[in-house]
Structure 1
């Protein structure tokens, strides 16, 4: 799980995924947000300025060489719900409420935020598909 840094944005990648599965877990380094968010805040519901949050998200996407318009985001609600992402979708408006996303569309970049919860990344090489799960204690108890 090596650290990478691109334009000041620091993140971890997982060696067990093949190269075509672009994935990362970002640190707080490399963003614009001031304290208390301390730099790379990508959460739009914690009081940070929306343009800063968008720019932080764009920086994360650019670090991976992905188009920010490819994002599929959900409103995370600590549930056992999973959404199938067929096309990009930003979380504004908050149309999809879920804590898991799956897709087989390589034009879609799955996106979630984590604080003290566990990110779970999924990959199915037989039916090329990926998934991401926000594994908080409540959703896990609900058997997400």
Structure 2
């Protein structure tokens, strides 16, 4: 019994950490993607000049940060926002597939795309630790 309680507390702490991490990362990256679109492209040598997509993605990232901040209010709120982690795992996995496809073309300078790809892979692994893989009693 105490092992289950300890595992449950560990999961709650990990979720709380991931909500805080999401808040910090997303609210520091999302608004610059919307407001200063040339800056992320210049830093990462992003080859695409599509302000609409950068704006949409920046808005999604900012929204995830805002939702994560809202989830930090209480444990009950954190449970309600768990689908946020699933959505992140799904869109980051799709983004990884698209980035891998672009890297195989060898038409772009790869370091920025590789950085994002491996960052997302690590992020997906961290998010996987938040999922309630076993049914709670």
| TM-score normalized by the length of structure 1 | 0.25
Larger Rg: 2
Larger % of helix: which? 2
| TM-score normalized by the length of structure 2 | 0.26
Greater relative CO, 1 or 2 (CA 8 Å, sep 6+): 2
